[in-house]
Amino acid sequence: MAISYDAMMASELSDLPISYSERDTMLYALGLGIGSNPEEHRELAYVYERYGPHTVPSFASMLIPDDLLAGTDCNTRQMLHRTQNIELYRPLPGAGDFLLNQKVINVFDHGADKGAEVELESELRRSKDDVVVCTLLSRIILRGDGGFGGPAPIVRPRHKIPNRAADMTCDIQTRADQALLFRLSGDLNPLHVDPDVARDTGFAMPILHGRCTFGIACRAVLGTVCDYDFTLIQSFDARFSAPVYPGDLITTEMWQDRNVVSFRCRVPARDAVVINNGRCTLTG
């Protein structure tokens, strides 16, 4: 069944209660591999309540539920992230209660063999005082839902990576069981753990969550540029360009120009750029 453009565009959530605990914050950090090096004491604040817990800014991407698209005719089992943007107006606390507004703002048709693209806009507000904490823009590819007769995609400008050698790099080794741990933070798509689903979707094996790769990129900037001060990250924006497999080594290349950090992530073993056109804005 083809998806309905009108039904997709009418999809909206208002004042959906969203809560997370310190345990959720620490579990997310562990899912990114934070705390795996016992000699890196600065990471303890993200995984140990005695010193925090501090919240990795990319955790905001996990506060967007999949309910909005799950209620439509699209095939969410073939859903992949295309881009993710987070704008933080204040640092995320270690725990909190919030209200979420979310809506579909665009649906594009890439063709029957390339899928549909959905743009989701989300706003997170503190329950206690209605203050906006962050906004998010997510672009999702629905690989099995193209050819429904919708509008053609808009060509959008991408953040340009500087034409010079990287100022900094950071290598992060993922684990073979990384997706099994990361899914406990809320992304239960079987594509990331079930070999049969992965093959049916066109992958040789389960792939790592895009939001995990996104978080690993944030971890790299957080540790390399920000000296683990999560309050310095004001926005984080990236485009997913190739899959990551659990067990891959991810190299994040970074360029800093004043308060803007450009970044991209590579898997050297396959010479693959897995995140590109990354842009992080720092406070101050």
**Tokens 């817990």 map to which residue?**
53
Q: pTM score, two decimals? A: 0.94
pLDDT of residue 46: 97
Phi then psi dihedrals of residue 182, to 5 deg: -65, -35
pLDDT of residue 130: 96
Residues in the chain predicted with pLDDT less than 70, given as ranges, are 1, 71
* Domains parsed from the chain with CATH numbers: 5-282 (3.10.129.10)
pLDDT of residue 38: 79
Q: Per-residue DSSP letters for 162-210?
A: PSS--SEEEEEE--TTHHHHHGGGS---GGGT-HHHHHHHT-SSPPPPH
The per-residue pLDDT for range 98-151, each reduced to its tens digit, is: 999 999 999 999 988 888 999 999 999 999 999 999 999 999 888 888 888 889
Q: Is the dihedral of CA 241, 248, 202, 140 positive or negative?
A: negative
Phi then psi dihedrals of residue 8, to 5 deg: -65, -45
Report whether 191 contacts 207 (CB < 8 A).
Answer: yes
Helix (H) or strand (E) holding 105: strand 96-109
pLDDT of residue 1: 58
